[in-house]
Structure formats: C-alpha cells, structure tokens
Copies of this chain bind each other. A is one copy, B any other.
Amino acid sequence: MPIKSDRPTLLTPARPKSGTGDSAPCAACHVRDFAVCGALTPAELDRFGGEVHRIYLDIGTPLVDEGEPERNVYSVTQGCLKSYKLLADGRRQITGFLFPGDFLGLTRSDTYTATVEAVTPATLCRLQRKELDQLSRAIPNLDRRLHELASEALAELQGQLLLLGRKTAQERVASFLLTLSRRAVERGSVANPVDVPMSRDDIADFLGLTTETVSRTMTRLRGQNLIVANKDKTIEIVDADALAKIAEGL
C-alpha cells in the first residue's frame, strides 16, 4: 500500500487540491501558530521549511503502516486522519484522530507504532525523521516544542484510558463530542457546530464500542435534546453543561 498522491513538490508550486490560502511557504502557513513549527523564529522556519515536502492524501489512503520503518514525520495542515492498531482477527482500536496542526511522529521508534490513514482528503508536510533530528538538535525551540507536544499527548492518552476502561457508552460519546469541540477551538475553529468528519464505525473503534451502540447513543442524546445532528456532518451541542456532566459520570 504505497502513498497514493505523494507529490514531492516544494511548498510554492502546484498543490494538488487548492482550497484555503497557504500559497506561500511556512511563514504564511495557516496552521503555523498551533503546529510544531509555531515556536520557530523566521530564520529557523526558513531552514525548517526548506526540508519540508507537501503531501496530499485521498480518503482512505494509508499514510504509514504499523511496523514499517519510521522514516518520515508529518505535520497535518488540512483534513482529518486516523491512527489505529489492529488485532489479528481484524478488531481495530483507533488510537487518535489527527487534525490540522497535529504532529505525527512523537513516538520516536524504529517502526511506526500504528497505521495512519486519511479520514477526509488531507494535506500534510512531510519531513525525514533524520532531518527532524538534526534540526531539533540545532534548534532548541523545536526540541522543546516536540517535548511539549509529547507531554500533551501523554496526558490526553491517560484520559482516553479512563474513558475506555471505566466509562459507559453514553459517557464515552459525550466525552468524544466535547473533546472534538475543545480541539476545534484549540486550532482556531468554532466550538459549537462541531465537525464530526469520521464515520460511526470510526467513532466506535475509537471509543471501544460498536457502530450500533454509537448510533443508539447519539439517538438517545438527541432525544434528551442535548445535541442536534445536522446533515453536513456537524453536530450542534445544545447543552454543553449537561453533556459535560454526563461525560464526567455525574
């Protein structure tokens, strides 16, 4: 399974799908403020950007496979991706969703610890692992930023352990919607009509449930007038407080 639309163009020329701005290099990148590169000075950024290649992924296209040598790291600029692990019989656990500004490559290992593929069409910046290592040795800010991101990821995962180990289906779904909303705000989007680009199946495999249970639970939350589902894959959070209480088991 090779990367499908890997076009090793530099940042400036022909990008496969256009969409929002970011025509200029890193300095003008729309996710710069909250991505890895946000902590860099203009000079550092130039050096960083010189090594970066732009990647475009179609829906369902695998970016990296679990167990494959970890040669590249990525920074998401557009779209949504999922990271997952499989058991031999096909059971799947999605370990996280990646959104613009998210960095893929914190788990510095010889091989990728999970498979990653596109949930929606996505664009990313690709950088060789060894380039990143050199850069981060030379640029303390970059190193510190990676540290920071790894810490946040660690804290996030601990919360996900609590969710998977101890929360009910309703608590899981409520937590999930609120987390999506919070993360949308963090990357400069709106909190309320929250974008839910992934399928019920993906949500189920992230929350340790089945599609049917996710669906039923959503219906139930709708019935309690806590959320409203729009048909553009967004969900209106009607009563965030009540949802938060459910999410925390209150």
Contact = CB atoms under 8 A, between A and B. Distances in A.
Interface of A: 85, 87-89, 91-93, 95, 106-109, 113-114, 137, 140, 143, 146-148, 150-151, 153-155, 157-162, 164-167, 205-208, 248-250
Contacts of A108: 147-148, 151
Contacts of A89: 249-250
A154 B154 CA distance: 6
B154 A87 contact: no
Contacts of A207: 165
A158 B106 contact: no
A242 to B, nearest CB: 15
A157 B155 contact: no
Contacts of A157: 154, 157-158, 161
Which 6 interchain pairs have the tightest Cβ spacing? A165-B208, A164-B164, A108-B151, A93-B162, A93-B165, A157-B157
Contacts of A250: 88-89
Q: Which of A137, A154, A161, A206 has the most CB of B within 10 A?
A: A161
Given A87-B248, A150-B147, A208-B166, A155 B92 contact: no
Copies of this protein in the assembly total: 2
Contact of A158 (B95, B146, B159): B95
B154 A106 contact: yes
Given A93-B161, A107-B158, A113-B154, 16 more contacts: A85-B159, A87-B167, A87-B249, A88-B249, A95-B162, A107-B155, A108-B148, A108-B151, A143-B147, A147-B150, A150-B151, A164-B165, A165-B205, A165-B206, A165-B207, A166-B208
Nearest to A91: B166
B113 A155 contact: yes
A85 B250 CA distance: 15
Contacts of A151: 106-109, 150
15 contacts: A85-B158, A88-B250, A91-B166, A93-B161, A107-B151, A107-B154, A107-B158, A113-B154, A113-B155, A147-B147, A150-B150, A154-B157, A157-B157, A161-B161, A166-B208
Contacts of A114: 158
A209 to B, nearest CB: 9
A212 B87 CA distance: 26
